[in-house]
Amino acid sequence: MGLRERILADTKDAMKARETSRLSTLRLISAAIKDREIAARTEGGEVGGLTEADLTALLSRMVKQRQESARAYEEGGRLELAEREQDEIKVIQSYLPRQLDDQETRAAIDQVIADLGASTIRDMGRVMAELRARHAGQMDFGAVGPVVKERLMG
């Protein structure tokens, strides 16, 4: 069962179980997917819809947006809103691949550098592209960039 089908089935289950907060988040996910499909069509893009990788990237962006919102709410003393954002993050993350821990991330970086024969900072773009292809949704590429740079320079 693909990601889209899982989300649809879980939406129906949440309706039956009257899980209002989970249902609300699942509806937000569905709306974001539909918006992205419409945008892709108007850009003259793919007709067949979004790929699993596109969906994973979309969900990752949704998690990052909610993390930023939760941080802002906490700083503003709106803890109930921050908690609601955290609840949404948990639901969205349940559809994302498991995140790699620091040790696994470093091993993946080393593997890609070895596979590509990367040796200088000029290879950073190729290494990052390969990491994105192999580990989409499994690591924070903003945090991975400096590690790759350090490995290629040192």
In the chain, where the domains are located: 3-93, 102-153
Whether residue 148 contacts residue 127, with contact meaning beta carbons closer than 8 Å, is answered with: yes
Whether residue 119 contacts residue 148, with contact meaning beta carbons closer than 8 Å, is answered with: no
> What mean pLDDT do residues 136-140 have?
80
User: If pLDDT is split at 50, 70 and 90, which confidence band does 60 have?
Assistant: confident
Q: Which pLDDT score is estimated for 48?
A: 61
Mean pLDDT over the full length of the chain: 90
Indicate if the alpha-carbon torsion angle 70, 23, 91, 28 is positive or negative: negative
Query: Would you tell me the crossing angle of helices 20-42 and 79-93 to the nearest 10 degrees?
Result: 70
From residue 115, alpha-carbon distances to 126, 127, 151 in Å are 11, 9, 14
Q: 3-93: which CATH topology? A: Hypothetical Protein Yqey; Chain: A; domain1 (1.10.1510)
R_g of the chain, CA atoms, integer Å: 18
Residue 76, Ramachandran bin (φ over 0: left; ψ between -120 and 50: alpha; else beta): alpha
Q: How far apart are CA 14 and CA 18, in angstroms?
A: 6
Q: Confirm or reject CATH 1.10.10.410 for domain 102-153, answering yes or no.
A: yes
Q: How far apart are CA 139 and CA 115, in angstroms?
A: 19
Give the pLDDT confidence of 64-115 residue by residue, as tens digits: 899 999 999 999 999 999 999 999 999 999 998 888 888 999 999 999 999 9
From the list 107, 147, 101, 105, the residue with the least C-alpha distance to 115 is 107
User: If pLDDT is split at 50, 70 and 90, which confidence band does 136 have?
Assistant: confident
